[in-house]
Homo-oligomer: A and B are copies of this chain.
């Protein structure tokens, strides 16, 4: 039961990437120009090496671009790599908007039913067992044994993995962060959004190899979530909006 050794990610460079990433997505530099290399170093008390490496990482994620004499600048939002887990996390956590959450859910509505169909066609007994285990944990979480979000995530992750398609599996970290936000939100609005029953239907269909039913069941699940989000967007103020906390 060894803890999987998580890389520390605890150095100046990664810290600066986090800070700058959050500042960028929250629009801190929409008005004023992005600081120059030297300014960044001074402002954050880091060496130029660290600064440059952080800027390069953000460039790799599409948030920044740099040219001599012109300086470093924030790229137009359309070029941001929303499918990068970090970028999506910064957006959802630091610049939460129902609009963005709705758009992401709209994409899940395309991906996950297809994933369920593939899983129904391909899942081997082990994969099905992992999905079933996710569901079991969701039920257990209802009894307080575990955080419900974690179990729900495990369920969806297991289905993505069961597709045997690397691109679906790749969406796992994205869906995880979004789900964490999404659940936190849908719970506040209406108790538990999608009941255990809906998840059971998905699992049954996959286990039975019924691709069509699995897809439809997953679609129903996510449609409900999307409707909740869109309803809330139409009636602002119904659920208290969580204020955007800024890094101290």
Interface positions of A (Cβ within 8 A of B): 7-8, 13, 17, 49, 52-53, 56-61, 65, 67, 78, 81-86, 100, 103-104, 106-107, 109-111, 113-115, 118, 165-171
Contact = CB atoms under 8 A, between A and B. Distances in A.
Contacts of A100: 166
Q: Which of A78, A100, A103, A170 has the most CB of B within 10 A?
A: A170
Nearest first, the 6 closest Cβ-Cβ pairs linking A and B are: A110-B114, A60-B60, A83-B83, A57-B60, A107-B167, A53-B56
Q: Which of A58, A83, A118, A168 has the most CB of B within 10 A?
A: A83
A143 to B, nearest CB: 32
Contacts of A81: 83-85, 170
Nearest to A174: B83
Nearest to A7: B65
B52 A170 contact: no
A13 B58 CA distance: 14
A82 B167 contact: yes
Contacts of A165: 103, 106-107
Contact of A110 (B56, B78, B110): B110
Contact of A53 (B53, B78, B83, B104): B53
Contact of A114 (B8, B58, B109): B109
Contacts of A82: 166-167, 170
A162 to B, nearest CB: 14
Contact of A59 (B8, B57, B85, B114): B57
29 contacts: A7-B67, A8-B67, A17-B60, A52-B53, A56-B56, A57-B57, A57-B59, A57-B60, A58-B60, A60-B60, A60-B61, A81-B83, A81-B85, A81-B170, A82-B167, A83-B167, A83-B170, A84-B84, A103-B165, A103-B166, A103-B167, A106-B165, A106-B167, A107-B167, A107-B168, A109-B114, A110-B111, A110-B114, A111-B111
